[in-house]
A = this chain, B = another copy of it.
Amino acid sequence: MEAKKYVYFFGGGKAEGSAVMKELLGGKGANLAEMTNLGIPVPPGFTISTEVCDIYYKQNRKYPEELEKQVADNLKKLEELMGKQLGDPKAPLLVSVRSGAAVSMPGMMDTVLNLGTNDSSVKGLEVMTGNEWFAWDAYRRFIQMFGDVVMGVEHDEFEKILSSQKNKRGIKLDTELDIDDLKQIVADYKKLYKTHTGEDFPQDPKKQLWKSINAVFGSWNNERAIKYREINDIKGLLGTAVNVQTMVFGNVGNDSGTGVCFTRDPSTGDNRFYGEYLINAQGEDVVAGIRTPESLEDMKQEMPDKYEQLNKIRDKLERHYRDMQDMEFTIERDTLYILQTRTGKRTAHAAVKIAVDMEKEGLIDHKTAVMRVEPNQLNQLLHPMIDPDEDVEVIASGLPASPGAAVGEIVFTADKAEEEAAKGKEVILVRIETSPDDIGGMNAAEGILTARGGMTSHAAVVARGMGKCCVAGCSDVHILNESECEIGGIHFSTGDYITLNGTSGEVIKGQVKLIEPEPTGDFAKLMEWADEARRLKVRTNADTPADAENARKLGAEGIGLCRTEHMFFEGNRIDSVREMILAEDEEGRRKALHKLLPMQQEDFEGIFKAMDGLPVTIRLLDPPLHEFLPQDVDEIEELAESIGVSTKRLTKKVESLREFNPMLGHRGCRLGITYPEIYEMQVEAIFLAACSVKKTGVKVLPEVMIPLTGTFKEMALLHELTRRTAEDVMKKQKGKVPYLIGTMIEIPRAALIADKIAEFAEFFSYGTNDLTQMTFGYSRDDAGVFLPEYLKKGILEKDPFQVLDQEGVGQLIDISIQRGRKTKKDLKIGICGEHGGEPSSVEFCHRLGMNYVSCSPFRVPIARLAAAQAAITQSK
């Protein structure tokens, strides 16, 4: 019986492995084999399979019997191919020993370089390279790395010896050390090694090799690697492979060099060869930035042959992998080696261009192109961003409440913002927090900065709706008066410039150059392909005709959430709203509501027109009534005077409405139950508007949504109220529009009794913001105190308000979809929380069989792309 194969050779133009053997050879090993087979000049070597790692642990850290011989055979083969031998005093072979699992775990496991150096081979290295300094430096580095990584001698102890030698000589850089210094350091390193390990530094390269192999396999189960796998949910792997590979050196003369290159421009996506290189240097020199690398254009002049060879390899690799590659190369004495190739990182702009170009070039199909762009990257294409080449002075950080960037002069009041904007100035509105009164100023400003409030604060929600940059809850902002503030300890007055980065939450001093978004033809093309592929509909959350139109341009296929309360704040409507709240009885409330009716009707008419032919989901009043009343003593006095009510009475009303936990208070459909006249007015306005625009030829598809349902009877009663009111209006108007009545599912209990709720609901829309709050017991406005620590400590992997918690909240969604559809097979189901525009959450919604997702206008393209990727992934 033939012995099982544990070791796979690569080199000399062919390899025993290939790219498909990732599970067995790890990503790195499989890739090296693949490149070798392609005829790419890769430094030869061999890979010990992941199976060995598995057996090693299963057998309590013993290798399979056959391994020793197989390693020896492959080493011999390698030595023969290279014409060098490990430890040879004339032509020594140096190898690296590296880990490499099927899934990349960067920096988690061990690596040993320069293996094979010892007291005699260091001389051979000297002879071979003609560079004594290089030889001794390589030896020094090897002892340090071996001692640290393999034997556990503290890294610091080596550094102490190095520093002390430099101090002795009064120098600062390693490169200033002379050969005698290096020899002294090698001697001291060896002493340190012996003190700590109780044995001499091993001179036998075979011993060096096996100890290193042990160390790499051992590092598979070190603490940080285990933790990394846990956090990243990496499961089912056999272990790591070990790659033993010939070392090549780019720093052994002017016929040598090293570099990094991309098969296309990673910044613009242009199909041009792009990269940097350094003559007579090692890879780390490029990274360390001690010398400034030259461009590949220079290489074309300086090493035309090598450039030509590299350029051909570029073609070969890109054609083979059908994606833009990021390659590392080294030239050792005029011989080019490719050390690594991998898919290159790129900007959003480049990602779109490369995907579309490659499709044109016939390299990939539509679906593959769609999969090539990370949906969240699109943010960069839709909002202005700070020029990455600018030096910026970040003076404070807040919540990234609404993405994009904005530059402007500081103003402190909404009035001032409008005033200055009218003069053509660009302004940033800085407030402790914003209120409905500030809407005009917010609209006039380029961006908004608040000292208080969370991701769902007034400023944040309104800014996202407007697609306007906003940094919220920045506690380093202290407003001193109406013309001065301190930000991060720096004093600012009205008219001083600041810049906001709403994508990162940073506040930057002064004026910074912005890059404007350019949704190019490539972008449109990619979105077209995405739309071909996806099954989920994408709607938008929009409260105004302007938002609705904007979202429609970005591809929205309807409104998934139109919040009627924002309409209550506009202009002088708030007066009627307050009159209603302060009314003593139903009659008084109805009188005030009657004034609101035509205004609400007008709102809905505008939105219906903007969404002609598309469904519009309108949520009935949701927030607690106290949100419509002032809370400060001064404001209460002012209001009391303006509406002719005693301050005492108004104060009493404000106090009686105050709540300990407004999130769990008298809001949502609870208002509709206790004050049915409010919902009646809203439904009346919806259907008056629908009948009216229908007469002008607009196609109207209203979907009336009851918020915060938690019991069967709430839904039954309010379904009846809505249906009755709608039918009455349509009868009187002699009109007929198709409509649906449904509910938000945002209370855990509603999810649990979804089968019953579905009896009276034609659609469900998941309000995942509230559902997350209640399922976790987190108030979004308060969780900021502990959430960062929860993320840092790994208690939560992701902020559940940004990325839907599939494990907990997801269960409630899953259960309720099943139960809801059991009652009503064709129940329409969507999501309208903030998660509707987050790619992994969109994928989850797709998987659960929802009909649509709804998100803020500027996330519509992101959701479209994510939905397409979900469909493509599932079909595979």
Assess whether A749 is in contact with B770, with CB atoms less than 8 Å apart.
no
CA distance A795 to B674 in the complex (A): 11
Known contacts A673-B789, A710-B776, A795-B711; is-contact A753 B807 (Cβ 8 Å): yes
Q: Is A29 an interface residue (CB 8 A)?
A: no
Q: Is A571 an interface residue (CB 8 A)?
A: no
Interface 1/0s, chain A 636-648, versus B by CB < 8 A?
0000000000000
Assess whether B749 is in contact with A776, with CB atoms less than 8 Å apart.
yes
Q: Is A593 an interface residue (CB 8 A)?
A: no
Q: Is A779 an interface residue (CB 8 A)?
A: yes
Q: Which residues of B contact A785 (CB under 8 A)?
A: 665-666, 674
Interface residues of A in 668-685 (CB under 8 A from B): 670, 673-674
Assess whether B770 is in contact with A661, with CB atoms less than 8 Å apart.
no
Nearest CB in chain B to that of A716: its residue: B795
Assess whether B748 is in contact with A781, with CB atoms less than 8 Å apart.
no
Q: Contact partner of A812 among B665, B666, B748, CB < 8 A?
A: B748
CA distance A711 to B808 in the complex (A): 9
Q: Is A714 an interface residue (CB 8 A)?
A: yes
Interface residues of A in 646-665 (CB under 8 A from B): 659-665
**Shortest distance between the CB of A669 and any CB in chain B (Å):** 10
**Shortest distance between the CB of A132 and any CB in chain B (Å):** 53
A660, A749, A808, A812 — which one has the most chain B CB atoms within 10 A of its CB? A749
Interface 1/0s, chain A 377-416, versus B by CB < 8 A?
0000000000000000000000000000000000000000
**Shortest distance between the CB of A630 and any CB in chain B (Å):** 17
Q: Is A775 an interface residue (CB 8 A)?
A: yes
**Shortest distance between the CB of A128 and any CB in chain B (Å):** 53
Assess whether B674 is in contact with A786, with CB atoms less than 8 Å apart.
yes
Assess whether B793 is in contact with A673, with CB atoms less than 8 Å apart.
yes
CA distance A611 to B782 in the complex (A): 39
Assess whether B775 is in contact with A749, with CB atoms less than 8 Å apart.
yes
Q: Is A790 an interface residue (CB 8 A)?
A: yes
Q: Contact partner of A665 among B775, B779, B809, CB < 8 A?
A: B779
Q: Which residues of B contact A776 (CB under 8 A)?
A: 710, 747, 749
Nearest CB in chain B to that of A807: its residue: B753
CA distance A752 to B796 in the complex (A): 16
Q: Is A708 an interface residue (CB 8 A)?
A: yes
Q: Which residues of B contact A746 (CB under 8 A)?
A: 777
Assess whether A664 is in contact with B782, with CB atoms less than 8 Å apart.
yes
Known contacts A708-B777, A770-B777; is-contact A753 B808 (Cβ 8 Å): yes
Known contacts A666-B786, A782-B666; is-contact A808 B749 (Cβ 8 Å): yes
Nearest CB in chain B to that of A772: its residue: B749
Nearest CB in chain B to that of A710: its residue: B776
Assess whether B665 is in contact with A782, with CB atoms less than 8 Å apart.
yes
Q: Contact partner of A664 among B674, B773, B812, CB < 8 A?
A: B773
Assess whether B775 is in contact with A661, with CB atoms less than 8 Å apart.
no
Q: Which residues of B contact A664 (CB under 8 A)?
A: 661, 663-664, 773-774, 777-779, 782-783
Interface 1/0s, chain A 707-719, versus B by CB < 8 A?
0101101100100
Known contacts A661-B781, A781-B661, A795-B711; is-contact A809 B749 (Cβ 8 Å): yes
CA distance A722 to B786 in the complex (A): 21
Assess whether A782 is in contact with B748, with CB atoms less than 8 Å apart.
no
**Shortest distance between the CB of A758 and any CB in chain B (Å):** 15
Assess whether B783 is in contact with A665, with CB atoms less than 8 Å apart.
yes
Q: Contact partner of A782 among B659, B783, B790, CB < 8 A?
A: B659
Q: Contact partner of A673 among B713, B714, B795, CB < 8 A?
A: B795
Q: Is A794 an interface residue (CB 8 A)?
A: yes
Interface residues of A in 722-769 (CB under 8 A from B): 746-749, 752-753
Assess whether B660 is in contact with A781, with CB atoms less than 8 Å apart.
yes
Nearest CB in chain B to that of A770: its residue: B777
Known contacts A752-B811, A777-B708; is-contact A794 B663 (Cβ 8 Å): no
Interface residues of A in 295-324 (CB under 8 A from B): none
A713, A777, A808 — which one has the most chain B CB atoms within 10 A of its CB? A777
Interface residues of A in 690-725 (CB under 8 A from B): 708, 710-711, 713-714, 717
CA distance A87 to B753 in the complex (A): 57
CA distance A749 to B779 in the complex (A): 14
Assess whether B781 is in contact with A713, with CB atoms less than 8 Å apart.
no
Nearest CB in chain B to that of A811: its residue: B752
**Shortest distance between the CB of A323 and any CB in chain B (Å):** 36
Assess whether A662 is in contact with B665, with CB atoms less than 8 Å apart.
no
CA distance A807 to B753 in the complex (A): 8
Q: Which residues of B contact A808 (CB under 8 A)?
A: 710, 748-749, 752-753
Interface 1/0s, chain A 804-815, versus B by CB < 8 A?
010111011000
Interface 1/0s, chain A 471-498, versus B by CB < 8 A?
0000000000000000000000000000
Q: Which residues of B contact A781 (CB under 8 A)?
A: 659-661
Q: Which residues of B contact A670 (CB under 8 A)?
A: 786
**Shortest distance between the CB of A254 and any CB in chain B (Å):** 55
Q: Which residues of B contact A795 (CB under 8 A)?
A: 673, 711, 713-714, 717
Q: Which residues of B contact A786 (CB under 8 A)?
A: 666, 670, 673-674
CA distance A452 to B794 in the complex (A): 41
Assess whether B662 is in contact with A660, with CB atoms less than 8 Å apart.
yes
Q: Which residues of B contact A748 (CB under 8 A)?
A: 748, 774-775, 777, 808, 812
A661, A714, A779 — which one has the most chain B CB atoms within 10 A of its CB? A661
**Shortest distance between the CB of A229 and any CB in chain B (Å):** 15
Q: Contact partner of A777 among B659, B774, B794, B809, CB < 8 A?
A: B774
Q: Which residues of B contact A713 (CB under 8 A)?
A: 793-796
CA distance A812 to B750 in the complex (A): 12
CA distance A796 to B779 in the complex (A): 26
CA distance A871 to B654 in the complex (A): 51
CA distance A747 to B773 in the complex (A): 10
Using a CB–CB cutoff of 8 Å, the interface residues on chain A facing chain B are 659-666, 670, 673-674, 708, 710-711, 713-714, 717, 746-749, 752-753, 770, 773-779, 781-783, 785-786, 789-790, 793-796, 805, 807-809, 811-812
Q: List 12 A-B contacts (CB under 8 A).
A: A659-B781, A660-B662, A663-B664, A665-B782, A673-B790, A710-B808, A713-B793, A717-B795, A747-B776, A747-B777, A748-B777, A749-B775
- Contacts A710-B808, A774-B777 given; 8 further ones with Cβ under 8 A? A659-B782, A661-B663, A661-B779, A661-B781, A710-B778, A711-B795, A713-B793, A747-B777
Give the top 3 A-B pairs by smallest Cβ distance, nearest first. A664-B779, A661-B779, A749-B808
